Structure 1
Amino acid sequence: MMGEDMKRFNRIVMVVPGAVGTGAAVDAKKDENQRAEPLGRGFQQFQGRLQLPTLTDLGLANISRDAPLSGMSMAHPLTSYVGRIQPAADYCDSLTAYWEMMGLSIQRPLQTFPTGLAAKFVKQIEKFTNRKVILNGRSSIGDAINDYGLQQTQEGDIIVLTSSDSILQVSANQAVVSRNELYRICRFIRFVADKNNLRLGRIIARPFAGEAPSNFILAGGRRDYAMIPPGNTVLDLLTGSDVPVIGIGKVDDIFANHGIDKSISLLNNDDRLTRLITVMEEQAFGLIMTDLGDFEASNGDRLGSQGYGEKLMRVDRQLGEIINQLKPTDLLIITADHGNDQTSNRTRHTREFVPLIAASPNAHGGQLGTRRTFSDIGATILENFGIPSQFPGTSFLNQIS
């Protein structure tokens, strides 16, 4: 091992797919979806045909769980460090999960809007946009476009929908409402929400294209407008200590551009991992964090176990390329932000453990155990770069040799 006063790794690469839960957390009894487990059920559905050679070598099946992953063998010898983590916060979606990973645990849940926005807020939006707000209630984006897309296209309205998370989505046909106008509308909603102290996590612009419900499809150009993190994060400490932070995917959106030196916004998972490989060739020092988006949906529709597994296999192939790019002074951390069961009819995130894998070419491998907060990741990153931590969380750096 290196001395405690030296940087253990020059570069830390994080890869975070969404909705890869690995079993109910110990306090899952608080959650009505406590029995959900997307990873295990995905393996069951594929009946041994889910081929993940890279994740197998990395020890995904070596992570402690109630039942083995069907068709996946344990790695022998184990050359990476594996464990599982559950969120410390009572509620966890993508936004609060990423914040907790970077040391900022939110104990008071962000606001949700199960019945839509208040009439006063809707009137403000309609006055600003000179367009009618339709739906204004809970729905999936796929259902919203299918049910209201024709009306929006014909009448020039804007579709506003909420979910079980602290998310407000604004959608319109890009042939009727340009992307720039849709972004302007979302920025206005963000401004009004913040001005009125609404703890609304994200406002998401979701343009779609097509002429009729039969060919409506989500278009590129999604943009997230997140509330500013209510405190410093690990990213702020890193950039304040001249440790570069590069965000790929929606990382910049999640942290509202705080603590990010360079942002690469890409919608497609394949593009994000391809760009990660390019960035690794260019950036030899610092933190590179790559968000892979949620695995439970594509084009607004739930993938189901089949689509979920196929997406995992594509990511696994690209992870193999990333492993080949690792240098002895690199640390790769793979984890997830939350669970979401593809075999359930519910769209609500499930309270689960998520996998934790830490790999480096010179690592011997071992167990990291069960971690009680995502903040352990941030604590590990700070210790690695010699930055004192002001956050909760226990570093596992000294367990990696």
Structure 2
Amino acid sequence: GDQWFKFNDERVSRASPEEAIDSNFGCNDDPPAGGGGGGLGNRRGPVQKYARFSNAYMLVYVLKSKASELLAPLGPGDIPGYLVRRFRKEEEMEELLPLLMKVQLVFEGVLDAHRDVDFVRWDRATLIQVRKSDTVADLRRIVAELSGLRECDQMLWQFSARQNGTTRVDRVLDERLDGEMLEVVKGESSVPDPLRILVLDGRGQQGVDAERDVYVAIKYFDQLEGELRYLGAIFFNRETLIGDIAETFEGKLGMGGPGGDRLEVYEELTKHQINPADVEQTLEEARVGNGDILVFQRMRQNQSTEDLKRAIDNHYANLRDMVEVFVRRIQEPDDNLFSLQMNRRCRLDEVAERVARGMLEHGVAPEEVDPNRIQLYRHNPRGK
């Protein structure tokens, strides 16, 4: 009938049909009437009508006359064969899991497209699994299959996490390291999860001396375009002057010469700390080592060092506030229409304008959309 009850470990109490049915098994997904909640005029989000689960119990009622049949021990033929195979596979995976380790591979193409802070964005890395008992040679074979780069041409760098919160390349995994992967990479500390590896084309790097040379990443901040570009990572002799490196890149960027524009040089220590570099120092004197990042910025004739520093600091602050925003229809909250890179400090009217442009660019709308007719809702994946 219409009598419903709710219960927990201590008591049983009556419940209304609406509470029992609507709140636990369904809800109205339509937007609130009158445009209330979640639009540009309301920052609190919509009045959500998601299910409220009041307990995690399940009661099963069985007829007494069928109890011996339904509750009898299972026989070999009672479970479908496809389920048996699935269960066995899951058991095998559970047994295998402790023997595996995750590895994130970063290829040079990912670095070339990097426009952010630090060395790389890890959501763009390739994730694989290897056995802890595998060797570096085994890893090279996997990399060759994925990239087409021959094993003998690979240069594999291990990333390590630094105390300042950055992740930078630390050392090369060369052919002399022939032990099990777990023992090779951990050194004196525990293995990071996942293990992170940079894959480089080692052709032309035969003359690199680990004691003499350092692997330094170079970025260029284009103030006019408001963009931070990756120019490459290069081996330099530790005794190289930072000013000489800047002069080399001035030539590559079509700068330099008497009375021409110059490059200011900074070191990106963390996403919060970008310090001017002394061009009169060598890399060793400046304590620039493997995985460190130098950032160049063009200094024009009418600019001061203070203006340049303020501009690059503002750009890094903007990068720290950038987030990826996924746009979905409220009727289809699980399916992404497209995503936008946006500053978390954007006003809601700016968000609506970006969404309107995105709808046209990604073919969601056949013609331009008026941003004032877009209603925004805050997505709550937990449904509460």
Short-chain TM bin: under 0.3
Larger Rg: 2
TM-score scaled by structure 1? 0.21
Structure having greater relative contact order (Cα 8 Å, sep ≥ 6): 1
* Greater per-residue strand proportion: 2
